[in-house]
Amino acid sequence: MRYIEPHGHMVSRVTDDYQDMVTCGCQAVCEPAFWAGFDRSSADGFYDYFRQLTEHEPKRAAKFGLAHYCWLCINPKESEDVKLASEVIDLIPKFIDSPSVLGIGEIGLNKNSRNELKVLEMHVDLAARHEQLILVHTPHLEDKLKGTRLILDVLKNDSRIKPERCVIDHVEEHTVEMVLDQGFWAGMTLYPESKCTAARAIDILENYGTERIWMNSACDWGVSVPLAVPRAAVEMRRRGHSHEFVDRVIFHNPARFMSQSRKFKMPSGI
């Protein structure tokens, strides 16, 4: 089996996870910029974090033969401070030409506040000016429906943004249809308690098809499962789905989306 992990916060994971992922067939991992669990105190903290994402983590992944890509932003959870967000966004162009940067993400909303919306718009403008792919975080739990609608409105209202170059992550049963219907990619996140289970994600595939949709683990510093995607693949096979079906969802789809960035190199090994 081969797969691509489109959303893993590897800076918060140990080397055992890299070994396990590669053993299960992971060919590439893509890491969006995230909230570290605490608020960084200045833009300097983000500068160091972006260095970690673009310089250190690819080297760490390479020790296991794994290609590592990243996305840059200030996460929605830290977007209430617009001044700080603006300083961080001003830093991003310094890193955008790094060979492993795929685009801007994971931008989006958290509590659906006015400042978060403003910062989201600033990121979208940055992505448009630099012709970057976009990876979007939709809010958790009760905030997801409202946040997804607000985010899609921001993206649709910017004529420079092409929906097929945006992935709206963490979709669930009540948001997936609006995302796909409007031409965006949809990410289903297999994360304990707060997001999808493998069974529900496969239900979504069976209801909506496999076009423009992927699975990810979003493994991070919380209780999460770096092997969620290969485990979901096993679940798909248990249900009788073909190897081709599984390969399309966990390898070809993420590869197809990421290949819209000239920096993404199609993995060659199995």
Partner 1 sequence: MTMTRQQVLDLYFMEARSKVIDLAAFLDRVDRATGEADFRLAALRGAMSVLTASEGDRAKHVLLGLSDTSVEPIPAATTKAACGAPVPAVQA
Taking the complex as a whole, the smallest distance from the CB of residue 254 to partner 1 amounts, in Å, to 23
| Shortest separation between residue 87's beta carbon and partner 1, angstroms | 19
CB of 83 to partner 1, least distance (A): 14
How far, in Å, CA of 193 to CA of 198, rounded? 12
Question: How far is the C-alpha of 216 from the C-alpha of 235, rounded, in Å?
Answer: 14
Q: Which is nearer to partner 1, 27 or 110 (CB)?
A: 110
Distance (Å, whole) CA 162 – CA 133: 9
Of the two residues 45 and 267, which places its CB atom closer to partner 1 in the complex? 45
Nearer to partner 1, 20 or 81 (CB): 81
Report in angstroms how near the CB of residue 79 gets to partner 1 at its nearest. Answer: 8
Binding site for partner 1 (CB under 8 A): 35, 77, 80, 110-117, 139-146, 149-150, 172-174, 194, 199-200, 203, 206, 238-241
In angstroms, the CA 145 to CA 160 distance is 25
Judged by CB, which is closer to partner 1: 16, or 142?
142
Residue with tokens 């403008």: 125
Which one-letter DSSP state was computed for residue 267? Answer: P
Residue of 269, 225, 229 lying closest to 250 (CA atoms): 229
Q: Strand, coil or helix: what is 263?
A: coil
